[in-house]
């Protein structure tokens, strides 16, 4: 599973730094290409030569030590990583990550990388419990950093409690668990809609909504990470497209309907996260309407209900709808699930702080035919996406890893 995987091991200055040596040895034996970055404090506990000998790879300690004139070291290392793990992660490096500080090789690389990051905090029990540290960990988790829960036991300072770095074998298991997720949706085709549609009044005006597309784009990113072939049909969103995603741009509800139906038959999972207009103008002006009378009366007509259409036509497809509400969450979610024949409906209260449009986080409840099957507290939309994808596989009876279940 780890053969050929390019893994950066970041080591910050804690007494548990010695465990990172064994972790690097285990990674090397598993066939991984290991690069190590030590903070200056870490070199007070362990030496670069030890890691170089154990991991048979480059060890970095200084941002300005450029070994290859053709590349900038911290950018090159960041760009070529499949995964970064920081173990141990001290309160200091956690704070730097949370607040975007970049004053050494490790913190600079962490800012530059787009690879997933595993963070394994290790420190005194009271330091770990400090509100500032807990705030920083929550902030990083909301951004998609996966935090490995510290172990409990005897600490170097003499205290007993939570704050130990897990054993190297447990850290290796966490890394393997991350890469095993890549196999879950291998061979599956996932169709996702995102963003808010626009219904034109004239060439410069439209009816629209506040959807940013962030939830749909997070689903696309998570599905690709899990090995799926992903088609993302996006309206009115300027978000960067996750690598490996096939993007289809649309504007109106009718255009989105056409693209969804074009891809639907070959799809295994559909996630209708887009905010699609319910109505469109009966008349669309071909030229910009000039200011005239005191009132402009616009007649609207219903658009085609995409979710209801595919709900009626689905055969092997697993269909997930989304409900953005401001009240009576369960009532409206269950009503949508039944009327539109969804397999699941993901509902959130967009008036709630941390769950509305344009937010990087979400707070959702997921409903099946028996009612609420999963409630998720505030977390990053990427983590919500991962949880939702796994739940959809379970509900579909999909065993994953290429064993196609229909």
Catalytic positions: 157
Here the tokens at position 359 are 């937010």
Rounded-to-integer distance, Cα 199 and Cα 251, Å: 8
Please tell me the distance from the alpha carbon of residue 347 to that of residue 329, in angstroms, as a whole number.
Answer: 7
* Residue the block writes with tokens 């499949």: 82
**Spatial distance between the Cα atoms of 116 and 144, rounded to a whole number of angstroms:** 8
The SS3 of residue 329 is helix
Q: Collapse the DSSP code of 83 into the 3-class scheme (helix H, G, I; strand E, B; otherwise coil) and give the result.
A: strand
What secondary structure letter does DSSP report for 343? S
Residue among 80, 27, 348 at smallest CA distance from 72: 80
- Binding residue positions for CTP: 278, 288, 322, 336, 340
For 153, other C-beta atoms within 10 Å of its C-beta total 11
Query: 52, 23 in Cβ contact below 8 A?
Result: no
How many alpha carbons lie under 13 Å from residue 101 in its C-beta half-sphere? 10
DSSP string, 160-185: EEEEEPPPHHHHHHHHHHHHHHHHHT
Instruction: State the Cα–Cα distance between residues 13 and 33, nearest whole angstrom.
Output: 23
Is beta strand 229-235 parallel, antiparallel or unpaired with respect to 151-154?
A: unpaired
- Strands 117-121 vs 160-164: parallel, antiparallel or unpaired: unpaired
The phi-psi region of residue 341 (left if phi > 0; otherwise alpha if psi is between -120 and 50; otherwise beta) is: left
Radius of gyration of the chain (CA): 24
> Using the 8-state DSSP alphabet, how is residue 209 labeled?
-
Instruction: Say if residues 293 and 313 touch (Cβ distance below 8 Å).
Output: no
């Amino acid at each position: 599973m780890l053969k050929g995987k390019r893994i950066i091991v970041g080591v910050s200055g804690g007494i548990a730094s010695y465990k990172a040596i064994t972790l690097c040895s285990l990674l090397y034996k598993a066939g991984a290409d290991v690069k190590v970055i030590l903070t200056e404090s870490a070199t007070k506990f362990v030496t670069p030569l030890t890691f170089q000998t154990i991991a048979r790879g480059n060890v970095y300690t200084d941002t300005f030590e450029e070994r290859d004139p053709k590349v900038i070291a911290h950018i090159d290392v960041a760009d070529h990583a499949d995964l970064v793990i920081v173990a141990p992660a001290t309160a200091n490096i956690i704070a730097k990550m949370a607040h975007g500080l970049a004053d050494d090789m490790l913190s600079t690389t962490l800012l530059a990388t787009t690879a997933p990051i595993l963070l394994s905090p290790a420190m005194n029990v009271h330091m770990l419990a400090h509100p500032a540290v807990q705030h920083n960990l929550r902030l990083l988790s909301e951004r998609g950093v996966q935090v490995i829960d510290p172990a409990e036991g005897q600490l170097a300072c003499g205290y007993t409690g939570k704050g130990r770095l897990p054993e190297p074998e447990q850290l290796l298991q966490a890394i393997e668990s991350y890469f095993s997720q890549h196999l879950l949706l291998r061979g599956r085709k996932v169709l996702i809609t995102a963003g808010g549609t626009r219904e034109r009044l004239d060439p410069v005006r439209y009816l629209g909504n506040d959807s940013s597309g962030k939830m749909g784009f997070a689903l696309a990113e998570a599905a690709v990470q899990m090995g799926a072939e992903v088609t993302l049909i996006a309206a009115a969103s300027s978000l960067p497209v996750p690598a490996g995603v096939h993007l289809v741009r649309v504007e109106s509800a009718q255009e989105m309907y056409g693209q969804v139906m074009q891809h639907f038959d070959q799809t295994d999972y559909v996630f209708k996260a887009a905010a699609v207009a319910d109505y469109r103008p009966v008349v669309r002006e071909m030229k910009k309407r000039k200011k005239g009378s005191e009132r402009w009366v616009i007649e609207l007509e219903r658009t085609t209900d995409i979710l209801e259409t595919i709900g009626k036509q689905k055969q092997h497809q697993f269909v997930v709808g989304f409900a953005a509400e401001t009240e009576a969450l369960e009532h409206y979610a269950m009503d949508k699930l039944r009327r539109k024949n969804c397999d699941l409906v993901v509902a959130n209260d967009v008036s709630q702080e941390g769950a509305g449009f344009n937010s990087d986080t979400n707070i959702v409840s997921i409903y099946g035919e028996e009612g609420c099957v999963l409630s998720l507290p505030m977390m990053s939309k990427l983590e919500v996406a991962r949880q939702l994808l796994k739940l959809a596989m379970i509900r579909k009876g999909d065993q994953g890893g290429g064993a196609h279940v229909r």
